[in-house]
């Protein structure tokens, strides 16, 4: 606000609202000035009476699917088309990624279990003994207590622990 010397810690909408071109502009005000701005702000400006009524309805917005509640739960974004010569390859690749794989012993391995195996660096047909040995080897290598206090591998260690916890309970390793 012109003439105000306090730090602007509170965001208020600016001249350009959010839309297709991006998040829009924002102004930053101190607490007193953001209260003043909010007192004069009209969220319904530019709306027709029918649009205002719809916006005030208790279930407004619930008729749309949000990313979290979509059928794919946002886990399967669009493929990178430049990686494929044929669009059908991209579509079939997405389908293969969601399909459980089958091991030589006939047991199915889910996509999450395949990712965990990849994290541990194990093949699809690894057995329970190989799983335990690989986990112990990685913990021995990555844990700060075992490598002189080097904490640079903590993120990788966390991924290894999570992968092992998933796989040790998986039906493929029962």
Give domain limits for the chain.
Answer: 10-56, 74-99, 100-173
Residue-wise DSSP of 125-140 = T--HHHHHHHHHHHHH
Name the CATH superfamily housing domain 100-173: DnaJ domain (1.10.287.110)
Token look-up 């112990």 returns 136
Pair of tokens at residue 70: 């979509």
Q: Which residues contact 64 (CB under 8 A, 6 or more apart)?
A: none
100 CA to centre of own chain: 22
3-state secondary structure of 10: strand
3-state secondary structure of 14: coil
Q: What is the pLDDT of residue 147?
A: 72
Please, what sign has the CA dihedral across residues 138, 140, 145, 149? negative
Specify the DSSP class assigned to residue 103. -
Mean pLDDT, consecutive 10-residue stretches, the chain (174 aa), reads 87 74 78 90 87 83 62 58 75 73 84 90 91 92 80 88 92 78
Buried b (16+ CB within 10 A) or exposed e, 46-75: eeeeeeeeeeeeeeeeeeeeeeeeeeeeee
Is the separation of the CB atoms in 74 and 67 below 8 Å? Answer: yes
Q: What is the pLDDT of residue 131?
A: 93
- CA-nearest of 129, 125, 132, 123 to 164 is 132
Q: Which residues contact 38 (CB under 8 A, 6 or more apart)?
A: 12
Helices in 41-81 by DSSP H: which ranges? Answer: 49-56
């Amino acid at each position: 606000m012109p003439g105000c010397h306090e730090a602007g810690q509170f965001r208020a909408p600016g001249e350009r609202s959010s839309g297709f071109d991006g998040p829009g502009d924002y102004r930053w005000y101190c607490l007193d000035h953001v209260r003043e701005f909010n007192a004069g702000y009209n969220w319904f400006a530019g709306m027709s009476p029918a649009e205002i009524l719809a916006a005030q309805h208790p279930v407004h917005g619930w008729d749309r699917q949000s990313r979290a509640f979509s059928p794919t739960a946002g886990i399967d974004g669009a493929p990178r088309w430049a990686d494929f010569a044929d669009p059908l390859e991209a579509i079939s690749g997405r389908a293969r990624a969601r399909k459980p794989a089958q091991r030589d012993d006939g047991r199915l391995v889910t996509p999450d279990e395949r990712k965990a195996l990849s994290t541990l660096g194990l093949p699809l047909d690894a057995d329970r003994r190989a799983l335990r040995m690989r986990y112990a080897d990685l913990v021995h290598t990555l844990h700060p207590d075992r490598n002189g206090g080097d904490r640079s591998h903590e993120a990788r260690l966390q991924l290894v622990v999570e992968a092992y916890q998933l796989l040790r309970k998986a039906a493929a390793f029962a």
